[in-house]
Structure 1
Amino acid sequence: MKVIIVGAGIGGLTLALMLNQRGIDCDVFESVRELKPLGVGINLLPHATLQLQSLGLLDTLAETAIETSALHYFNQHGHAIWQEPRGVAAGYPVPQLSLHRGELQMLLAQEVVKRLGASRLHTGMAFESLQQDAQGVTVRFRNRATNTVDDVRGDVLVGADGIHSTVRRFFFAPFDHLRFSGRMLWRAVTDAAPYLDGRTMFMAGHQDQKFVCYPISEPLRQQGRSRINWIAELRVGQDELPSTDWNREVDASVFADRFASWQWDWIDIPALIKGAEAIYEFPLVDKDPLPCWTQGRACLLGDAAHPMYPIGSNGSAQAILDAACLAARLQAIGKDHRSSVELALKEYEAERLPLTSGIVLRNRLNGPEQVMQIAHERAPEGFAHIHDVIPEAELAEIAIRYKRLAGFDPQALKP
């Protein structure tokens, strides 16, 4: 069996490694001519970290990533709403990891080259179309270096080419519309002094004004400093999706005044904003869940299948879980049962589509971050103690309900 993977992001590269581990032939095709460590920070929750551990990557990741110790929620006045241990401290068999997205992608790409060979990672190859027959698929790519077309033959096509997926558009154009939340994100990284224990992630505010922080560099932490990934979020008062460049660099003056008073005894948010070398603007968008992910011998994976709000730290994690599920389903076919490819893809879809659709919809309701919104609605001027506003049992139930939905309930991951 030969699998053609479109997209060399986290999901596509992880799938390539998992297929290779199972003895399944595959090639990865990426539209950009050169992979670069782009982006900002991401979190790998324990259910995703377990999958990367199965690939033998955990020790390498631990050299770079922060082992996140805790997650804290605050209101816009700096009053504590909820806090909980994370990763090993919360009883998981593996840590929660926070790191630079580009560093993770480059690590995965290097492992693909090492394990599969450099000839299996094709850059500058843009997906154009697909034809299927009883024996397999023929995928047409545009070579961006030569502006010629190349036809590649395989047994399965996997579209793992992100939120702007051309594979998704090819099959599901009526369902490819972006859904804008009316909120804008500004994302950046700032090197600064550590806050709290140097390994804590926190969120403050409510759904119309929020600030998220977490450190992402273990080497810098060991030097007594902190590389802090942060996200400022505001409702911008417009219903239409902005037409500006999604990854454009902006000046802090666009939003910083809204956070000018967010200075508490353990963190200075205005100073973090001021200290960033570059700030990038993104609209907060997702897409409606698809009715299906498969068409014959072709399927979708990761953000191509289920783009979701970056709430609950689940985007990259769900792509990795998709890859693990799909690799297992394809392995179960056996080398001499090509007629079962379609069934394997449908089984993958049946397992993963309902779960991820639930996360997409729950994230629209702010997922576990809804505790901040509840606190804001019940006590907009703040409180002496959170349990005067939200009972502890209600807070705990919101936290565990999302963990169960997203697949990282501590009890479910115990060995």
Structure 2
Amino acid sequence: PLGVGINLQPHAVRELTELGLGDRLAATGVATSFMTFVDRYGGQILALPRGRAAGYRWPQYSIHRGELQMLLLDAVGGVRLGLRFEDFEQDAAGVTVLLREVATGRERRERVGVLIGADGILSAVRARLHPGDDPLRWSGIQMWRGIADAGRVLDGSTVLVAGTNHAAKLVTYPVSVANPRALNWVAEVKVGEPGTIESADWSRAGRLEDVLPHYADWKFPHVDVPALFAASPRLLEYPMADRDPLPFWGEGRVTLLGDAAHPMYPVGSNGGSQAILDARVLARWLATEPDPAGALAGYEVERRPPTSALVLAHRSLPIEDVVRLVSERAPDGFEDIADVLTAEELQAMAAAQRGITDADVQALNQRASWNVR
């Protein structure tokens, strides 16, 4: 399976569970217990309960992205690969999609009822719907990722966040029930000033010698960071980037979903979860609204405002400012966080993190199912 780790928030796990995938998720991913923030020396700043430990009826899962993709593929069935989108034309009765076979270069035309561009941050469907100025917005942060056979960290079900991406930050979490030693890691390093960039290839190979110097002396009780990086058979490297929220997603029988619609910085463990919510809301509208164009319009009205707000919230990175305070006030580490941050500052940090990751516990637990039948 391709890729590295991904986190699924309880609001997304609920939707997959109601589609019959709960047991498969539980057998594959690790139910997250805490998100624990530490400084670069391993001193604990804050530990936030996650998933069921936070009161949700559904867990949060950390899972290998490729395993999640295979799980979804098995559930869906008929997927055709090897086709590249090029253009579309629509009329009152449907959409004609122009595709090209990657292997042969042969042109194909498919007639469909609706066209959903779910083709990621480099979406060709988005470019067709929104030609012109829609640049990738880079945060100035470069990211390296990998998975290593490294052993348990803390209780074996914790997302550990060390440091701050104002300088260098590390996120680790387990991703496999079958192999509890499999530890996903993400290194985030500030290497430049924010601006626009031309590409954001998420599958580009990274090099150990590029990331290791930023973490050469990062060794604390939970993780030997240089050893973790060195134990990873493959590294990926890509910029932390997004795009500006759109004034509209689609037109008529064509719309966008997931990162094609609202690419956001991966700082809240929420991008994949929001795509799952998109899909469920879209499916509900298509199942209950006789007019396909009306269904797509209703879906956009429901999903575009909250996801646009999340894109902007992820840019502000409020929790990073609090963690930076720790590094400024205690540059050589600390024994008790109460000597560094006030109770009010810790509460603000917790609220900032919940603001970009969490759904309201009571609202999610009590909301009626989106299942139509």
TM-score, scaled relative to structure 1: 0.83
The Cα RMSD (Å) is: 2.0
Higher mean C-alpha displacement, 358-367 vs 399-408 = 399-408
Query: Are the structure 2 counterparts of residues 247 and 300 from structure 1 closer, same or farther at C-alpha, using a change threshold of 3 Å?
Result: same
Equivalent residue in structure 2 for 1:322, among 270, 274, 278: 278
Give the number of equivalent residue pairs: 364
Query: Are the structure 2 counterparts of residues 386 and 363 from structure 1 closer, same or farther at C-alpha, using a change threshold of 3 Å?
Result: same
Shift of 1:147: 1.8
Say whether residues 1:88 and 2:46 are aligned partners: no
* Matched-pair contact (CA < 8 Å) for 1:312–1:369: no
Q: Secondary structure at the match of 1:82?
A: strand
What one-letter code is carried by the residue in structure 1 that aligns with 2:264?
Answer: M
1:1-400 matches, cutoff 5 A: 37-113=1-77, 118=78, 121-207=79-165, 208-221=167-180, 226-237=181-192, 241=197, 246-333=202-289, 337-338=290-291, 341-366=292-317, 368-400=319-351
Query: Are the structure 2 counterparts of residues 274 and 314 from structure 1 closer, same or farther at C-alpha, using a change threshold of 3 Å?
Result: same
What one-letter code is carried by the residue in structure 1 that aligns with 2:169?
Answer: K
Higher mean C-alpha displacement, 163-172 vs 129-138 = 129-138
Shift of 1:380: 3.9
Once residues 27 and 361 of structure 2 are traced to their aligned partners in structure 1, the CA distance between those partners, rounded to angstroms, is 24
Q: Secondary structure at the match of 1:267?
A: coil
Q: Secondary structure at the match of 1:57?
A: helix
Query: Are the structure 2 counterparts of residues 315 and 243 from structure 1 closer, same or farther at C-alpha, using a change threshold of 3 Å?
Result: closer
Once residues 213 and 172 of structure 1 are traced to their aligned partners in structure 2, the CA distance between those partners, rounded to angstroms, is 36
What one-letter code is carried by the residue in structure 2 that aligns with 1:77?
Answer: Y
Q: Secondary structure at the match of 1:173?
A: coil
Once residues 177 and 12 of structure 2 are traced to their aligned partners in structure 1, the CA distance between those partners, rounded to angstroms, is 19
Query: Are the structure 2 counterparts of residues 401 and 411 from structure 1 closer, same or farther at C-alpha, using a change threshold of 3 Å?
Result: farther
Shift of 1:180: 1.1
TM-score, scaled relative to structure 2: 0.91
* Matched-pair contact (CA < 8 Å) for 1:204–1:372: no
What one-letter code is carried by the residue in structure 2 that aligns with 1:136?
Answer: G
Higher mean C-alpha displacement, 324-333 vs 390-399 = 390-399
Query: Are the structure 2 counterparts of residues 95 and 342 from structure 1 closer, same or farther at C-alpha, using a change threshold of 3 Å?
Result: same
* Matched-pair contact (CA < 8 Å) for 2:158–2:173: yes
Query: Are the structure 2 counterparts of residues 131 and 240 from structure 1 closer, same or farther at C-alpha, using a change threshold of 3 Å?
Result: closer
* Matched-pair contact (CA < 8 Å) for 1:403–1:409: no
Q: Secondary structure at the match of 2:119?
A: coil
Query: Are the structure 2 counterparts of residues 88 and 369 from structure 1 closer, same or farther at C-alpha, using a change threshold of 3 Å?
Result: farther
What one-letter code is carried by the residue in structure 2 that aligns with 1:359?
Answer: L
Once residues 388 and 286 of structure 1 are traced to their aligned partners in structure 2, the CA distance between those partners, rounded to angstroms, is 37
Once residues 200 and 249 of structure 2 are traced to their aligned partners in structure 1, the CA distance between those partners, rounded to angstroms, is 29
What one-letter code is carried by the residue in structure 2 that aligns with 1:319?
Answer: A
**Structure 1 gaps, min length 5:** 1-36
Once residues 383 and 95 of structure 1 are traced to their aligned partners in structure 2, the CA distance between those partners, rounded to angstroms, is 32
Q: Secondary structure at the match of 1:293?
A: coil
* Matched-pair contact (CA < 8 Å) for 1:73–1:81: yes
Query: Are the structure 2 counterparts of residues 49 and 368 from structure 1 closer, same or farther at C-alpha, using a change threshold of 3 Å?
Result: farther
**Structure 2 gaps, min length 5:** 367-373
Once residues 206 and 355 of structure 2 are traced to their aligned partners in structure 1, the CA distance between those partners, rounded to angstroms, is 38
Shift of 1:173: 2.2
Shift of 1:171: 0.8
Higher mean C-alpha displacement, 263-272 vs 388-397 = 388-397
Query: Are the structure 2 counterparts of residues 109 and 130 from structure 1 closer, same or farther at C-alpha, using a change threshold of 3 Å?
Result: same
1:21 aligned residue: none
What's the % identity of the aligned pairs?
Answer: 46
Once residues 153 and 399 of structure 1 are traced to their aligned partners in structure 2, the CA distance between those partners, rounded to angstroms, is 49
Once residues 347 and 362 of structure 2 are traced to their aligned partners in structure 1, the CA distance between those partners, rounded to angstroms, is 15
What one-letter code is carried by the residue in structure 1 that aligns with 2:122?
Answer: H
Query: Are the structure 2 counterparts of residues 108 and 244 from structure 1 closer, same or farther at C-alpha, using a change threshold of 3 Å?
Result: closer
* Matched-pair contact (CA < 8 Å) for 1:311–1:369: no
Deviation digits for residues 90-140 of structure 1, max 9, x if unmatched?
Answer: 211111111110111111111111xxxx3xx11111111111111121111
What one-letter code is carried by the residue in structure 1 that aligns with 2:52?
Answer: V
